[in-house]
A and B are shown apart, each in its own frame.
Chain A
Amino acid sequence: MSQSVPKTKTHVPDETENDLSIGESEHKTVGDYTAKEPIFQARNVNVYYADNHAIKDVSLDVGVNQVISLIGPSGCGKSTFIRCLNRMNDTIDSARITGEILLDGEDIYSREMDVVMLRARVGIVFQKPNPFPKSIFDNVAYGPRIHGLARNRAELDDIVQSSLERAGLWSEVKDRLTDPGTGLSGGQQQRLCIARTIAVGPEVILMDEPCSALDPIATARIEDLIDELKQNFAIVIVTHSMQQAARVSQRTAYFHLGYLAEVGDTNDIFTNPQHKLTEDYITGRFG
């Protein structure tokens, strides 16, 4: 079952702004792209937007109970890659994907895969907080309602409360659950979106630059939250902030012009990068 939205309003990463062309020899990924207990296994993934080859032959695992951060200069394919993992790219008409992505050993692009169930298992938090123009309660209850996760109102209340608690928002909103979610501050809205995602009970949470629209204090709260959430979820986070990648993630993958240049333990990547491009990027020579 596939969904197609006719419009392509979604941001399609454009051709890279910096001309950092790389030689053939640098296409091979440096480091170990596998994970010990993988939940996602992507193999030789290529993505095209019409004629634009956005992701080139990327293989990468996502392990359970850990945070992997994807870094790299703008237009390098991080967001595109993350959107392949729950098939959000289906909403873009011109997007085409080859290769294989396994979720618990199941190919998510196979015919048998129900994209609705896939997205229930793989939640996503976007760059800009996008709460629905509904009450705080209804925002969180949205997923459980459409998936029939609660048999009665009491169960629904429980799910909403626990989701908000895990997103660290409960104490701030418990007295005004009927207020519109759009009335919260930016940081609260983003935590509401995280609560909304948790409420469906996913296995993986994808985060596409979740803090880029937030101030430093709200960012710190989200980062603490990510640290707690990794006890229960696998988390893939795209970020432009290398400090953030260093703080929250256990593994880091460096994308460059659609290639996966290097992947490894976050500590190793930031202290001892093996790839020249990674080193240039983290030392701030470009990006």
Chain B
Amino acid sequence: MNPSTVFIALIGFSFLAFFVGRRKAVARQLASSGIKPHSLPGYHGGYVALWSVIPGLLLFTLWLIIKPVFIRAQVLANLPNEISVLPEGQLSLIYNDIRNLAEGNIVSSDPTVYVEAAAQQYINLTYISDLSLAVSVLVLVLVALAWSMRRVQPEMRARNKVEWAIQALLMCASTIAIFTTIGIFLSVLFESLRFFQRVPLFDFLFGLDWSPQTAIREDQVGSSGAFGAVPLFAGTLLISSIAMLVAVPVGLMSAIYLSEYASSKMRAIAKPLLEVLAGIPTVVYGYFAALTVAPLFRGMGENIGLTVSSESALGAGVVMGIMIIPFISSLSDDVLNAVPQALREGSFGLGATHSETIRLVLLPAALPGIVGGILLAVSRAIGETMIVVMAAGLAANLTINPFEAVTTVTVQIVTLLVGDQEFDSAKTLAAFALGLLLFLTTLILNIIALRVVRRYREQYE
């Protein structure tokens, strides 16, 4: 019996258990008409469904984890001696062959006798384990069903138990995101540690040269590799600053206009339009930056006698800024709207004009929230990849001249990992180290931003 069939059967069974449980609850209630039952019949049904299926599901999950490990150990143990002493890497290859043969996939070479024997054993073991899973889950589910059905009584607190189960489910859901974050962090961290075994941390953090080509052959010329991250972070900083210089004033002013001056009709049209900007895929912004904005800036530069690179930081930064405008404007708009109307009236009542009220009362009151929004936008700008991949260059120039080409951390990560790469060279591992540093930077920015936003929330209490 296939494991997925077992799983589907379990889910189907839970529906069945629900109806059986509910029916019994209704029957019991009718029989004992004197007592007011604690829970509605539906809760009894839910209770039976949950409590009869959950043990089976747990067993199923456990089996999913143990089965491959167990079979692998068994199969490898029966291999001839000269094979089982091979190093772990080769052993894995052979085991893959065995599995592929057993499952009818393409095998790397003509199967040897011992591989065929092992494949047969693999098939047998899988069959036995699947069968035993099906049987044991069935038994467990039936026992659990009988037990939970026996507990369906009018005074049983089925509602509270179902409530508890729902709470546990919600808790699991919320921890998934947390564990994923931790998992991502750890995987990046371990790869980075391997990188730092080859390249000293200090050279990486403070090196001024970035040229990640390493020699593949001994006699290759000029590719010793230099992994100084400073030019990349300088480039990221330059482009993000240009983006914020565009996005903050424009976003803030549009938020002020929309929340304070615009008529409700104007708001109804302008706000969704502005939010459309946020819905444009970044790759489209990328075209726009590379094909329209960058040549435009180069042409304008030529007209006034400036040399503007066609992959200038300016082009990428400005387009990134435009992308971030709705982010800042919608956050600031929310924050401005949250300022109590009483403060506006208080200011008007003292004879302040509208712009005085905005400048002297609303903006100071909303400032922490706005700053929080800006910090969130900055961490978005730093992590933004697609626009800079398409519009910023690859040359790791250490410069603050916005007309020159610079490269960013995200661009380099993409270049290092795209295509066929060996996963143990310093070049590839450098991508993980960069990713780790970038992750830490945006993490810190986000933490600061969230703290600032939280402080703002306490302001009016």
Summarize B's interface: helix, strand, loop or mixed.
helix
Q: Given A6-B263, A133-B365, A200-B351: A142 and B345 within 8 A (CB)?
A: no
Minimum Cβ distance to chain B for residue A141 (Å): 11
The interface of chain A, by Cβ under 8 A from chain B, is 3, 5-7, 9-10, 86, 88, 91, 93, 116-120, 123-124, 126, 128, 130-134, 142-143, 146-147, 182, 193, 196-197, 200
22 inter-chain pairs at a CB distance below 8 angstroms, sorted by A residue, are: A3-B353, A5-B260, A6-B260, A10-B341, A86-B349, A116-B351, A116-B353, A117-B351, A120-B351, A123-B349, A126-B342, A126-B349, A128-B342, A130-B345, A132-B361, A132-B365, A134-B364, A142-B360, A143-B350, A146-B350, A146-B352, A197-B350
State which of A6, A133, A142 has its C-beta within 8 Å of the C-beta of B460.
Answer: A133
In the assembled complex, the Cα of A116 lies from the Cα of B347 at a distance in Å of 11
Q: Given A3-B354, A116-B352, A142-B360: A132 and B347 within 8 A (CB)?
A: yes
In the assembled complex, the Cα of A139 lies from the Cα of B56 at a distance in Å of 67
Give the number of residues in B that approach A within 8 Å (Cβ atoms): 30
Q: Given A132-B361, A134-B364: A126 and B356 within 8 A (CB)?
A: no
Contacts of A124 in B (CB 8 A): 345, 349
In the complex formed, the residue of B with least CB distance to A118 is B351
In the assembled complex, the Cα of A126 lies from the Cα of B344 at a distance in Å of 12
Contacts of B261 in A (CB 8 A): 6
Q: Find out whether the CB atom of B267 lies under 8 angstroms from the CB atom of A6.
A: yes
Beyond A120-B351, A133-B343, 19 additional pairs, beta carbon < 8 A:
A3-B354, A5-B260, A6-B260, A6-B267, A7-B341, A88-B348, A88-B349, A93-B263, A117-B351, A119-B351, A124-B345, A130-B343, A130-B345, A132-B343, A132-B365, A143-B351, A146-B360, A182-B459, A196-B346
In the assembled complex, the Cα of A10 lies from the Cα of B349 at a distance in Å of 13
State which of B348, B350, B351 has its C-beta within 8 Å of the C-beta of A91.
Answer: B348
The interface of chain B, by Cβ under 8 A from chain A, is 259-264, 267, 337, 340-354, 356, 360-361, 364-365, 459-460
Minimum Cβ distance to chain A for residue B446 (Å): 25
Q: Find out whether the CB atom of A9 lies under 8 angstroms from the CB atom of B349.
A: no
In the complex formed, the residue of A with least CB distance to B339 is A133
Minimum Cβ distance to chain B for residue A212 (Å): 14
In the complex formed, the residue of A with least CB distance to B258 is A6
State which of A117, A123, A130, A133 has its C-beta within 8 Å of the C-beta of B364.
Answer: A133
In the assembled complex, the Cα of A86 lies from the Cα of B341 at a distance in Å of 17
| The 10 residue pairs across chains A and B that have the minimum distance between CB atoms | A120-B351, A9-B341, A130-B342, A119-B351, A124-B349, A143-B350, A130-B346, A116-B351, A133-B365, A3-B354
Contacts of B341 in A (CB 8 A): 5, 7, 9-10
Q: Find out whether the CB atom of A119 lies under 8 angstroms from the CB atom of B344.
A: no
State which of B342, B344, B345, B350 has its C-beta within 8 Å of the C-beta of A123.
Answer: B350
Q: Given A132-B361, A146-B356: A10 and B345 within 8 A (CB)?
A: yes
In the assembled complex, the Cα of A6 lies from the Cα of B342 at a distance in Å of 15
Q: Given A6-B264, A126-B342, A146-B356: A196 and B460 within 8 A (CB)?
A: no
In the assembled complex, the Cα of A100 lies from the Cα of B337 at a distance in Å of 34
Q: Find out whether the CB atom of B365 lies under 8 angstroms from the CB atom of A130.
A: no
Contacts of B459 in A (CB 8 A): 133, 182
Minimum Cβ distance to chain B for residue A280 (Å): 33
Minimum Cβ distance to chain A for residue B335 (Å): 13
Contacts of A143 in B (CB 8 A): 350-352
Q: Find out whether the CB atom of B350 lies under 8 angstroms from the CB atom of A120.
A: yes
Minimum Cβ distance to chain B for residue A91 (Å): 6
Contacts of A146 in B (CB 8 A): 350-352, 356, 360
Minimum Cβ distance to chain A for residue B159 (Å): 39
Q: Find out whether the CB atom of A193 lies under 8 angstroms from the CB atom of B346.
A: yes
Q: Find out whether the CB atom of A119 lies under 8 angstroms from the CB atom of B345.
A: no
Q: Find out whether the CB atom of B350 lies under 8 angstroms from the CB atom of A119.
A: yes
Q: Find out whether the CB atom of A88 lies under 8 angstroms from the CB atom of B351.
A: no
In the assembled complex, the Cα of A143 lies from the Cα of B346 at a distance in Å of 10
Minimum Cβ distance to chain A for residue B403 (Å): 42
Q: Find out whether the CB atom of A119 lies under 8 angstroms from the CB atom of B343.
A: no
